[in-house]
Amino acid sequence: MDYAALQVYLAVVDEGSFSRASEKLFRTQPAVSLAVKRLEEDLGEQLIDRSSRELKLTDAGQTVLDYARRFENLRHEMLTSLDELRDVSAGLLQIGANESTTVYLLQHLRQFRQLYPKVKVRVRRCRSSQIPDLLLSGELEMGAISYRPVQKRIVSQVIYTDRLCFVCSPQHRLATRKSVSIKELGLETFIAHNVVSPYRQVVLQEFQQHRIPLNMDIELPTVESMRKLIQQNEGVSFLPRMCVDQDIRQGTLCEVQVQELQVKRKIRLVYPRKRVLSRAAKAFLELLKS
């Protein structure tokens, strides 16, 4: 199998068309089409459904795509390792994290860049639940998550303890209160994150246990959009404290203690137990320990 043809196939899928892939690869469109055709002949499978107007992969095409990405990541790891042999301070630090844990990583990444300015830093946004599998498949070297992974082949190290906090607009009726009972929240409009997480389940269970309705009338895809809507007094929410710390200090959001909900949220750095970490990853790990 021609690895170059596999790279062409990956470019076609990533760009969503043969024409855009040809522009990216600085090759003619017929040459790109021929490379994919030869790859299909080598594998004995049709990878792209050419009866569809949009680029659509067959089942075999999706399988080949998954392995092509792994090959490309392994190739990148190899080149990174060779770079590190030439220069200790060079290389790539790649970490998988979701939106909220990325906020915590920022301060450490800034320190890391000051110490190792030649190292490229890439934070890949992932669903937290997917990170352990991405580590084991080799697509990620390190990750940051807010729960203990069940996989025994993954090392989990607590690097920060955060907590969920109830926030509202300064104009909200509860904004001047230091604390409230969960029973007072039954009539509130809650703005929820539409990604399922262990902490969302904790909040749901607590409301169910106290038989208080949890009116999640608004669900949004990002913490940033949730913060803005809460600031406009369109609802309230439970958010990670580190994601709203600046808003609370600046007075654009107010934190109110909920007596029945004191939920700690531990941020963990995770990586495969038996895989040898790159020097950049080892250096980042040492920075966090210190």
DSSP character string of 147-212:
S----TTEEEEEEEEEEEEEEE-TTSTTTT-SEE-GGGGTTPEEEEESS--HHHHHHHHHHHHTT-
Both tokens of residue 281? 């990853």
Q: Are residues 155 and 275 in the same domain?
A: yes
Range of the domain at 218: 162-264
The three-state secondary structure class of 256 is strand
Which distant-in-sequence residues (6+ apart) come within 8 Å of 66 by Cβ?
Answer: none
**What was the pLDDT predicted at 21?**
86
Q: What is the pLDDT of residue 85?
A: 61
CATH number at residue 29: 1.10.10.10
104 and 11 assigned to the same domain: no
CATH number for the domain harbouring residue 98: 3.40.190.10
* Domain CATH for 214: 3.40.190.290
For residues 177 and 255, membership in a common domain is answered with yes
Q: Which of 72, 105, 125 is the last residue of a domain?
A: 72
Domain count, the chain: 3
Structure tokens that stand for 213 in this block:
């309705």
Per-residue pLDDT, 84:
65
Confidence at residue 288, expressed as pLDDT on a 0 to 100 scale: 86
Q: Are residues 150 and 279 in the same domain?
A: yes
What confidence score (pLDDT) does residue 137 get? 87
pLDDT score at 87: 61
pLDDT given for residue 86 in this prediction: 61
H or E element at residue 64: helix 59-86
Q: Do both 112 and 187 map to the same domain?
A: no
Radius of gyration, alpha carbons of the chain: 23
**Average pLDDT per block of 10 residues along the chain, 290 residues long:** 83 87 88 88 86 84 88 83 64 87 88 88 90 90 91 90 94 95 95 84 92 93 93 95 93 95 90 86 86
Hey, what are 255's tokens? Answer: 């934190």
Residues 235, 149 within the same domain? no
Residues 168 and 259 in one domain: yes
Same domain, 254 and 196: yes
User: Burial of 82 by CB count in 10 Å (0-12 exposed, 13-18 middle, 19+ buried)?
Assistant: exposed
Say yes or no: 175 and 258 in one domain: yes
* Strand ranges in 7-106 using DSSP code E only, listed in sequence order: 91-97
Q: Do 48 and 131 belong to one domain?
A: no
- 272 in the same domain as 155: yes
The reply to whether 260 and 271 lie within a common domain is no
This prediction's pTM: 0.62
Q: What is the pLDDT of residue 246?
A: 92
